[in-house]
Amino acid sequence: MSKLIIIRGNSGSGKTTLAKELQKAIGPNTLVIAQDVIRREMLSVHDGVGSEAIQLLQTIIEYGYANNKVTILEGILNAKWYQPLFEKVQELYGPENIFAYYYELPFKETVRRHRTKDERNEFGEAELKRWWNEKDYLEGIEEEILTEEIEIEEAVKMIMASIR
């Protein structure tokens, strides 16, 4: 049965890094869907209610469900704006095959992490603050909280144990 891992949180949390490390740990036939790649690079659209990215994300998730043992969806994925997407994944995967994680970090920690990224010069602290969305929990999908104390390696081990 196909499984879905959802990794969400504010910009600079470590979502992409965790998704890539999980893909390595899980191995072949693992699809990573990065919201930023879909929304910003492929479609070049703004985020918000009714974003054009939602339909493409749904289509790729359907592909992952049909063709991959594990699909990893990562991004800020605002809970209210992306509610139609989360309803679709619940229909497809069912609650027993969805493993959701939310990075709940202090703002200062996301700024620190952002400064270590390749794209650190594309935007800065002011933009991070403007995009900040505190405690943006999902409705209908239970999320485990990832804190700043949980290192990437530990998060990978924890998630790998959950999906087995």
**DSSP conformation class of 150:** S
Token readout for 44 is 């070049």
Residue type, 115: R
pLDDT of residue 63: 98
User: Cα separation of 98 and 93, whole Å?
Assistant: 6
Apex 123 CA angle, 120 and 125, nearest 5: 90
Which structural domain, as residue segments, surrounds residue 33? 3-163
pLDDT of residue 131: 87
pLDDT of residue 114: 87
Do the beta carbons of residue 84 and residue 54 sit within 8 Å? yes
- Only one residue has tokens 């809970």, namely 79
| Number of domains forming the structure of the chain | 1
- Considering only CA atoms, which of 145, 139, 148 is closest in space to residue 101? 145
Q: What is the mean pLDDT of each run of 10 residues along the chain (164 residues)?
A: 96 94 97 96 94 96 98 97 97 97 94 83 85 94 97 97 94
User: Cα separation of 15 and 163, whole Å?
Assistant: 18
pLDDT of residue 121: 77
Do the beta carbons of residue 103 and residue 4 sit within 8 Å? no
User: Cα separation of 160 and 23, whole Å?
Assistant: 10
